[in-house]
Amino acid sequence: MRSLSQFYEFMDSLQTVRRTVTGYYLMQAHHPRHIQSLRNALSAMDDLPGEGLDKRLDAAGRTVTVTIDYERSELEKDIYFLITRHFLQSGAPANPVNQRNPTNPSSFNRPHEPHNFASFSQRRLWMCRSHDFLHWSEPVVICAADDEEDNLDESFYGMPLFRVGGVYLGTVGVLHQVDNTMDVQLLTSRDTIRWSRTAGRAPFFAPSESGGWDSRMVSMVSSPIEVGDELWFYHGGTAYHHDWFLRGPVEGLDHPEARAPEGSDFGLGLATLRKDGFAGLAANELREGFVCTRAMRGVGRSLVVNGRCGRGGSIRVEVVDAHDTVVSECTKDRCDPFTGDSVRHTMTWKGNPTIAHRSEGEDDAVCKLRFFLKDAELFSFRFETDGP
C-alpha cells in the first residue's frame, strides 16, 4: 500500500470479510458449545490491552491499534433463553398405584423412586436456546433436585435468569410436596448450563409469617428491575397450599381448602434488595477480616466498592502487583477508611482515587486487592477507567 486511500480501502474490505465470517458463525451457534466459544472470544477481546474498544495488537515488532466495536457488537447479540418443562419429564413409576388410597389413583404427586432415573417423576428445569426467537434447540435439563442433599419431596418450578457482571443468577421456585408449600432459592451459573445452589440451599425468599397473604407459597418468575440503589423483585404469593385446594376434592382431603377451593386468592407483591446485595463478606468488631482477590489484568484507574459498615467499622484496601509488592501509594496505612453505607463509594489513598500502576501506560498491569474489614460487610467492587 502506497497511499492512505489504499489503506482505507483495505480496512473497509477487511470489515466486510469480518462481517461475513461472524454472521455465518452466529447462524451456526445453536449448540451450547458454540455459544460458549462466542463468550470465550468476547472475553479474549476484553483482555486485549488498550482503552475501551481501541485495542493494541503487536505484530512483527510493530504495535497497531484496532477498533473492535463491530466484533464486540456481533458477539453480544442477544441469545434467547427459554426455561420450560418437558412433556416426558415424568418417568413411568414401577408401582403406579397410589398406596395412600389404592382405589383413587388421582393423586397430584406420582411415586418417587430415589436413584432411579427411569422413573424420575419430580419437576425440573429444561432450557432451549435461540438466536432469532424462531429456531430453538432441543430442551436440555439444566437443574433438578437430587436424592443426596434435597428432600425427597422437592421439585423445581420455573426460573427466570439474569446477569450480574459475568455471572448468571436464577430464582427457582422449590415445591415442598409434603408441606405443600413453595419458596425461592438462588442459583448461579457462568454458562447458563451448569448451575450451582447457594447459601446451603436455604431459601433466598421465603413465605411470610403465618396469616399473611403470601404465607404458604411465593414465586419469582421475572428478573429484578434496577431502581436507584435497589433491585425490585415482583413476586407472586398466596395463603393457600399448592394443590390441596386443586386436588383435595378429588382425593377426599379433609382440609378447609379442599372443602372451599373457590377461596384461593393469589396476589402480587414487591420485595427489594440493595444493589449487588445477593451475598457479602462480613467481619465483626472483634477481629479484622482480611480477603485477597485473585490476580486481575486490565483494571481501571479507580476502585468503587459496595459496602456497609457498623458504628466504628471500616473498609480499607491495599493494591499489590503479581509479586505482592504494594503498588505505588496504595497501601493499607494510606487508605482513607470507608465508614458508611453505600452501593457506590470510590476508595482513595490520602485523598487520591487513582490506582497508579508501576509504570506509565500499564493499563493492563496485573494487580490484586487486599480488603481489610472491621465490623463491616463488602458486597461487591468494580474498577472504573474514568475518575470519580
How far apart CA 386 and CA 388 sit, in angstroms, is: 7
What was the pLDDT predicted at 360?
A: 46
| In a shared domain, residues 61 and 84 | no
Q: Are residues 249 and 157 in the same domain?
A: yes
Instruction: Supply the range of the domain harboring residue 354.
Output: 281-384
Residues 356 and 369 in one domain: yes
Write down the pLDDT at residue 147.
86
Q: Does one domain contain both 71 and 84?
A: no
Domain CATH number, residue 231: 2.115.10.20
Distances (CA, A) of 86 to 83, 127, 166, 273, 297: 10, 10, 29, 33, 43
Q: What's the pLDDT score for residue 30?
A: 46
In total, how many domains does the chain have?
3
Please check whether residue 113 lies inside any domain of the structure: no
pTM: 0.75
Q: Which residues of the chain have pLDDT under 50?
A: 25-30, 358-361, 363, 388
In a domain, residue 109? The reply is no
pLDDT, position 248: 86
Residues 310 and 346 reside in one and the same domain:
yes
Residues 258 and 144 in one domain: yes
Distance CA 165, CA 147 (A): 32
Residues 84 and 183 in one domain: yes
φ/ψ of 289, rounded to 5, equals -85, 150
Q: 293 and 207 share a domain? A: no
Do 219 and 234 share a domain, yes or no?
yes
Q: What is the pLDDT of residue 60?
A: 56
Domain containing residue 337: CATH number: 2.60.120
CA separation for the pair 281, 293 (Å, rounded): 12
